[in-house]
A and B are shown apart, each in its own frame.
Chain A
Amino acid sequence: MNKTALCGILLCLAGSACADTGGRLLATGGVTNIEGSAGGGIVPWAVLSGYGTRDEWGGDAFATRVDTGDYRLDAFGASLAFNNRVELSVARQRLDMDALTKAAGLPHKSLNQDVFGVKLRLFGDLVYDRLPQVVVGAQYKRQTNFLIPSLVGAQRDSDTDFYLAGSRLFLGAVGGYNLLVNGTLRYSRANETGLLGFGGDRRDSRSLLKEGSVALLLNPRWVVGVEYREKPDNLSFAGESDWQDVFVGYFPSKRLALAAAWADLGEIATLEGQRGLFLSMQLSY
């Protein structure tokens, strides 16, 4: 690739040197959650990926890394959203667990899964109109190396999560700053989002799980917030903790978004106190 082209692409990502993507306002596509759905980092929101309005299409590609020292999660994927109505997404996750593999003499060094998501906007608008934006979504997940999950009691290697989410941006709500509030109800039996399979020896039916995020927009480009994700606890060999994080999002243009978070993931597969940095990058089209 020659220098001018590269320079052009960089300019394009960093600013408004190229035609903007879609007609929605900056940051209203959120970032991409680890399962590939538009949202926060760990919670899907009721927003659709990219910046397409009801007359346009758009989407995102993303890559995320969460590193707690004992574990490292890498996720990447892409999505397409049509007419701000339907979002289709695909993501691949890989959890490296060198520490545990060595300590417990496990047969694999990582756990992997693929996630295929669909999200449908039912009604409402994130910013305008009387009703908040509300979506239903499904994430079909396929754990791709099931030996370890099956040994610790997981019942199946693929399953579908269902969720209902509502999001609203309140203009000038907190001392003049815009506030984004999101609530998500998930119906799932995924162990550690599915990386440890689905259902367990302790409980094999889906649970209703509450997830939420609150974010403050310091200006159109900078966002700070917190997220919370309740998790099921289906396997008896170890506890599964709820997740939470505090995050900063940066939207230099409608092409690029960066997110950093401090995530507290609690106990994961017998290792407690899992905390670490979450970094994510997203390109929008």
Chain B
Amino acid sequence: MYRELRATACAALVLIGMAGCASQPPESDSLYQALGEQAGINRVVEALLYRIADDVRIAHHFADTDIARLQEKLQEQFCVEAGGPCEYTGDSMADVHAGFDLTEADFNALVEDLIAAMEAERLPVTVQNRLLQRLAPMRADIIYR
């Protein structure tokens, strides 16, 4: 009986815990530090842009994009999401990606490129995951718009 109760309580906790939480600003700049501050973030963004340019799955979406602007906005955005001392001056995710009708696969392709970029910068998996965790909630504003 006790075992039953314990298992049921555990199952309930698991289900409650599974519901995602809305993303709040980071409490500290520890991720910013772990990424190597702005210089480290800039290297990741650059490596990401090179990989996107070489990625036949998604490169075509960027054909008409002002890459210098994209680079600058991504640098700001990653800095903010990592808890760094920056301000994001770009447009909302929903606005910039509207009209591209990006798919789930497009989104994951970019995530794979980002992981490869962070891997190339030798960032630990734990740091990579924390940045991905900050960006993941944006997906709903980016795909199928």
Contact = CB atoms under 8 A, between A and B. Distances in A.
A177 B104 contact: no
B125 A23 contact: no
B92 interface: no
A105 interface: no
B125 A127 contact: no
B17 A181 contact: yes
Interface size class of B (residues with CB under 8 A): 20 to 34
B126 A168 contact: no
Nearest to A124: B18
A108 to B, nearest CB: 35
Contacts of B11: 183, 185, 210, 212
Given A55-B103, A176-B126, A177-B125, A168 B108 contact: no
Chain A facing B: main interface SS: loop
Interface stretch (B64-72, B75-83, B131-139): B131-139
Q: By DSSP majority rule, is chain B's interface helix, strand, loop, or mixed?
A: helix
A131 B140 contact: no
Interface in B54-104: 103-104
Given A176-B126, A176-B127, A55 B105 contact: yes
B39 interface: no
B15 interface: yes
B115 interface: yes
A107 interface: no
B133 A131 contact: no
Contacts of A127: 136
Interface residues of A, number: 33
Interface string A141-173: 000000000000000000000000010100110
Interface string A43-70: 0000000000111100000000000000
Interface string B115-145: 1000000001111011011001101100000
Contacts of A166: 14-15, 18
B53 interface: no
